[in-house]
Amino acid sequence: MTKGPAKTNTSGRGQRELRVRVKTAKGRKLSSTLWLERQLNDPYVQRARKEGYRGRAAYKILELDDRYGFLKPGARVVDLGCAPGGWCQVAVERVNALGQNPKKPVGTVLGVDLQEVEPISGAEIHQLDFLADDADEKVKTWLGGRADVVMSDMAAAASGHKGTDHLRIIALVEAALAFAFDVLEDGGTFVAKVLAGGAENEMQALLKRNFRKVANVKPPASRSDSSEKFVVAMGFRGREQSGDGAADQDE
């Protein structure tokens, strides 16, 4: 079973930082070498390996939940595009999906992805295209009701063109949001990764009409040189009321 994140000394005192240097191998692009070097020296990558998470992205959802507290014990959670599974691992711990704390309600974690994902203890994983016409009904059947949280760390395949990539991920987030409208419980939460770039105004307006609070956050685990940020929309108004009003608060 995966252990929760351990406390680490982040002050750097009494520690000597040893940076790994990677030589460019024959046939390997410089960009690939730089990526490999960054991975080897990334403290979140090292921490994920030590603590049993499937990737550094696990710390992004951990940090977001530490701040907003949407992964409550007993919650029903859907993770869209869940591969490789780090977000599901965190959700399992936070919603008490394994029932390890008998004093708290047991939650449900459902992960869906186009590709096959290795099993995760405490989570139910399905190979599914969430854009399929019947995907929402399948998910609600598997959950035994509506979801309290729909979350997505999905990103469209990179084209190398910043503007194109931005538009692609906004379209993907809007599709995830439309899915969330179909499966979320009233008062539920939607969390998704986006890329800053200026084309998200319409999406932000849609979020503010449908949720009572919308925050745009860059958690510490998100690399400083990345344009990614996350939207955390809380207090889903419900499908019948979602067209009225505006968000009570925006960060």
Torsion angle defined by CA atoms of residues 86, 90, 93 and 98, in that order, rounded to the nearest 10 degrees: -40
Q: Is 153 annotated as a binding residue?
A: yes
**Per annotation, catalytic residue among 193, 208, 213, 229:** 193
In the numeric block, the tokens 């936070």 are attached to 94
Q: Is 79 annotated as a binding residue?
A: no
CB 166 within 8 A of CB 195: yes
Q: Is 87 annotated as a binding residue?
A: yes
Q: Is 85 annotated as a binding residue?
A: yes
- Dihedral-angle region of residue 137 (phi above 0 means left; psi in -120 to 50 means alpha; beta otherwise): alpha
Q: Is 138 a catalytic residue?
A: no
In three-state form (DSSP H/G/I as H, E/B as E, the rest C), the secondary structure along the chain is: CCCCCCCCCCCCCCCCCCCCCCCCCCCCCHHHHHHHHHHHHCHHHHHHHHHCCCCCCHHHHHHHHHHHCCCCCCCEEEEECCCCCHHHHHHHHHCCCCCCCCCCCCCEEEEEECCCCCCCCCEEEEECCCCCCCHHHHHHHHHCCCEEEEEECCCCCCCCCHHHHHHHHHHHHHHHHHHHHHHEEEEEEEEEEEECCCCCHHHHHHHHHHEEEEEEECCCCCCCCCCEEEEEEEEECCCCCCCCCCCCEEC
Q: Is 129 annotated as a binding residue?
A: yes
Q: Which residues are annotated as a binding site?
A: 85, 87, 113, 129, 153
Q: Which residues are annotated as a binding site for S-adenosyl-L-methionine?
A: 85, 87, 113, 129, 153
Residues tagged active-site: 193
